[in-house]
Amino acid sequence: MKQKTSPSIALYLALPLACFVLLLSGCERLGNGVVREIEFPAHTPQLAVTLISRPTTDTLVARARTSAGILDTTGSKRLKNALFTLSHENGTSLTWGGQSDWVGGVGHVITSVNLEPGLWTLRCEEENFETATAVQLTPPQIDSLGEYPYAIATTLNNVEIDEYNEGEEFKYVVYRNWTMELDLPDRPGDRDFFVLKAQQTDEWDEEEEFWENNTQISPEIEDDTRMTYNRLAGGWMIEDISDANSLNALGFEVDQYLSGSNLDSLLARPAKLELAALSNELAEYYRTLELINNPSGGPLFTEPLLAFSNMSTGFGCFGLYTSCELELTGE
């Protein structure tokens, strides 16, 4: 007797057919692909304030913007009526802002400023916004002399001069290479941060297809853990990672490319470097912005990172630095 449970041929045919119909249905659903839109809580705009400056400067520029929700297509807006107050711990203060101090394309500008050393508090006010505040200690002045000195030793290793004739005019291309050893101050008990970058004084000459004056700087040791390249700062961020005097004997290679028709003038032009001593907060701001802006694993594979902020609203930075120029000559 035939078992009733034996499947019939019709069933064998019906099942593949059903599979095919289901597959089509699935393809249609996959074509859309959307599970849902993620709902965000409404973002309350906050003041995003940036004031990054040297303490001794003719001009201070502060910028106030709004923060914006990620789904807000209009983005961060400038606030021309914002008022800024900078107060020193000894009671002196500066106030500027509003439409009168607004300079288009720049921000809120105050001139003839010389911030004395010590603790400064920045306060930014704008109607309908929570006031933003931040404090900042002026970093010591980095210089070849003084209480926070650097020491430099350079060796000119190579000078190459190529000459070529362009019509009736002679042109010269000069390449110079230095090794540089730099000792930076490292205070016991304090963290010290520096940026060393090449100063780009001349532009790319499109006609000549050569840099008029281009300087590049790179560490002698590739894996020197004391320094990392920061694209936003345009140079090497240097940090004291251990005990005092850990920033001695920092080795660099400096390459300079020059071109022009007057060889003596070219050889007289030094390679210019900028050395800046950053406050801890400013260094952290640069570090986190660099990681956000240039994620090593692309946006998908990089662990999310919150930009550092010392503003009470959590957006922006009040950061001070001191700086000086280093010149490497051909002598």
Partner 1 sequence: MHRILLVYLMALLQCGIAIEASGQETNKGHQVSGYVLDAASGEALIGATVWCSSIDAGVSSNTYGYYSLQLPFGKQQVTVSFIGFQAQSFELELKEDLKMDVELASGVAIQEAVVTGASFDRIEDQVQMSKMEIPMDQVRRLPAIGGEVDLLKSLQLMPGVQSGGEGTSGLYVRGGSPDQNLIVLDGVPLYSVSHLFGFFSVFNADAVKQMSITKGGFPARYGGRLSSVLEVNMKDGNMREYHGTANVSILASKFTVEGPIVKDKASFMLSGRRTYLDLLLNPVINSINSNDPSVETDPRYFFYDLNGKINWKIGSKDRVYLSVFNGKDDFGLAATEREGVSTSTFDFGLDWKNQVLAARWNHEWNSKLFSNITLTQSEYNFNTGIQFSETENTSDSTSASFASLYRSGIVDYAARIDFSNAISNRHYLRYGGNITLRQFNPGATTLQLQSGDFPGIDTTFGSSELESVERFLYIEDEVQLSDRIKANFGVHATALEVNGKYFPSLQPRAALNWKLRDGSALKFSYAQMQQFVHLLTNEGLSLPTDLWVPATDEVTPQLSTQYAAGWAKTFGEIEVSIEGYYKAMDGLISYREGASFSNTFNSRWEDQVTQGQGNAYGFEWLFQKKIGRTTGWVGYTLSWANRQFDEINSGNWFPYTYDRRHDASVVLMHRFSDRIDFSATWVYGTGRALTLPEATFRTFLPNSFTTVPGDFTGLNVEVPSEKNAYRTSPYHRADVSLTFTKEKPAFSRSLIFSVYNIYNNLNPFFSLVEEDIDGSLSIVEYGIFPIIPSIAWRAEF
**Residue ranges in 205-234 that form contacts with partner 1 under rule CB under 8 A:** 223, 225, 232-234
Least separation, in Å, of the C-beta of 258 and partner 1? 20
Task: Using the minimum distance from each CB to partner 1, give the nearer residue, 145 or 300.
Answer: 300
Q: Is 328 helix (H, G, I), strand (E, B) or coil?
A: strand
CA-based angle 237:135:112, to the nearest 5? 85
CB of 168 vs partner 1, minimal distance in Å: 33
What CA–CA distance (Å, rounded) separates 107 from 202?
26
Strand partners, 104: none
User: What's phi and psi for 156, nearest 5 deg?
Assistant: -85, 115
Q: Answer yes or no whether residue 288 interacts with partner 1 by CB under 8 A.
A: yes
Task: Pick between residue 56 and residue 177 the one whose CB is nearest to partner 1.
Answer: 56
Q: Spell out, one character per residue from 117 to 146, where the chain touches partner 1: x when CB under 8 A holds, - when not.
A: ------------------------------
315 binds partner 1 (CB under 8 A): yes
Question: Can you tell me which of 13, 76, 151, 261 binds partner 1, judged by CB under 8 A?
Answer: 76
Torsion sign across C-alpha atoms 91, 57, 317, 223? negative
If binding means CB under 8 A, how many residues of this protein chain bind partner 1? 89
Of residues 124 and 172, the one with the C-beta less far from partner 1: 124
Q: Token match 């090449």: residue?
A: 198
Q: Which is nearer to partner 1, 38 or 167 (CB)?
A: 38
In angstroms, what is the minimal distance from the CB of 137 to partner 1?
18
Tell how strand 193-198 and strand 235-239 pair up: antiparallel
Footprint of partner 1 on residues 2-61 (CB under 8 A)? 3, 5-7, 12, 15-16, 18-20, 22-23, 25-27, 29-30, 32-38, 40, 43, 48, 50, 52-54, 57-61
Rounded Cα distance between 218 and 159, Å, is 18
**CB count, 10 Å around CB of 274?**
17
User: 172 vs 284, which CB is nearer to partner 1?
Assistant: 284
From CA 252, how far away is CA 235, in angstroms rounded? Answer: 12
CB-wise, 172 or 276, nearer to partner 1? 276
Q: Give the C-alpha distances (Å, rounded to integers) separating 278 from 37, 209, 289, 292, 296.
A: 43, 36, 15, 20, 24
Q: Which stretch binds partner 1 (CB under 8 A): 86-94, 101-109, 249-257, 259-267?
A: 101-109
Contact indicator for 247, 224 with CB cutoff of 8 Å = no
Q: Which of 96, 211, 252, 286 binds partner 1 (CB under 8 A)?
A: 286
One-letter identity of residue 268: A
Q: Is residue 104 a contact residue for partner 1 (CB under 8 A)?
A: no
Nearer to partner 1, 263 or 292 (CB): 292
Tell which one of 63, 123, 176, 226 touches partner 1 (CB under 8 A). 63
For partner 1, the closer CB: 49 or 172: 49
Angle 324-325-328 (CA atoms, 0-180°, nearest 5)? Answer: 150
CA triplet 297, 302, 307: central angle to 5 degrees?
A: 125
